[in-house]
Amino acid sequence: MDGSVERRTLEVGASPMVEIRSVGGSLRLVAQEGTQLEIQAPSRGGLHVEQDGGQISISCRSDCVLFLPRSAGVQVGSVGGDLRALGLQGEVSIGTVGGDADLRRLGPLRMERLGGDLRARKLRADLVAPWIGGDARIEGVQGDVRLESVGGDLLVQDALGDVVASAGGDVSLRLHPPAEATVEVRAGGDLICRLSPDAGARVTARAGGNLDLPEEAEVEHTDEGIVAQVGEDGAVLRLTAGGNLVIGLADADSGAFWGTDGFSARIAADLEGLDTAFAGGAFTFDGVKMAENIRLAVQRALSRSPRVRGRRRARKSASQTADDERLRVLRMLERGKITLEQAEKLLEALEAEA
């Protein structure tokens, strides 16, 4: 976008229904207090707006930013570029997105088709996304997660309901499932599942490669696969991996293994406010992307962790030493003993030696 911006402000009430038929570029949805809807797009961007009471219809050939009442319901037809949505409490329904999607602090959400990567964090209700072309990273969902087809890798952390997902790549799970929850996940590659130490679960596991289970689990062999009882009766887990499958309990060091989540969350929270503040101006500040770049800088060394840990018995010596060194660097970063730049250089050096 250039500096010439078209702005429209509408009085729509506290809970309008907003239909966004099509956006040729990227779309950003930001919740705000009050009863007004503000729309921003480049001048000559083909912005078209219709209003009939609390019903609003919008289309735009270029990029578009909407500031909506927090309780607004949103229905999106198609987005050619990326989609970002922040803070909406009403139901959000999305048809097709050609690029990536970053979704934070939303209510009920359904997305039919996403061409790129999905990042969803702190969702207040169910997440349903039948088709994702790239990777998916899901953190903190207070409902069910249903991802029928993820083309790349998948990470699910701290989902409080059922989890049903299938991914073509590797899968990482970190869960404290409620007693009544069902978790059914398939990975085309490796799968690692970490349960909270006090979780109870009955796990049915199938693996094309190695299978590692907690030492304290009670194990039996059935026609469906190996069944492991972890802790007391609780959630039902059915896990299938085309490669290695590792099931274990989270420990004090799991934060480093899972990508220094505390550190990344603090950085993301700091940038989130800036991302929202700059959304109404030059359109050039990308706090989400910046936060993701920082996250990736400290996670590069973890991309192979499921494989390394799943093959621990088969491969020790050099690869085990390298993995230990990566974790040591991440712990030093998390404790503030080295800077982000120093950590990135150390991790890149370890990658070059691997």
pLDDT in tens, 76-103: 999 999 999 999 999 999 999 999 999 9
Whose tokens are 């038929």? That residue is 21
Query: N- to C-terminal Cα distance for the chain?
Result: 42
pLDDT in tens, 174-187: 988 888 899 999 99
Cβ neighbours of 341 (radius 10 Å): 9
**188 pLDDT more than 50:** yes
Mean pLDDT for 295-302 is 51
Percent of the chain past pLDDT 70, that is, above it, reads 73
Give dist(CA 44, CA 25) in Å, integer: 13
Instruction: State yes or no: pLDDT of 235 exceeds 50.
Output: yes
Q: Where are the domains of the chain?
A: 170-250, 259-353
- Going by pLDDT thresholds of 50, 70 and 90, the confidence category of residue 57 is very high
- Give residue for tokens 């130490």: 197
The per-residue pLDDT for 295 is 53
- Picking from 132, 144, 69, 148, the residue whose alpha carbon sits closest to that of residue 100 is 132
Distance CA 200, CA 176 (A): 9
Q: Model's pTM, two decimal places?
A: 0.73
Confidence label for 352 from pLDDT (cuts 50, 70 and 90): low
User: Where does the chain have alpha helices with state H?
Assistant: 254-257, 261-278, 287-299, 305-310, 317-334, 340-353
Tell me which DSSP letter residue 313 carries.
T
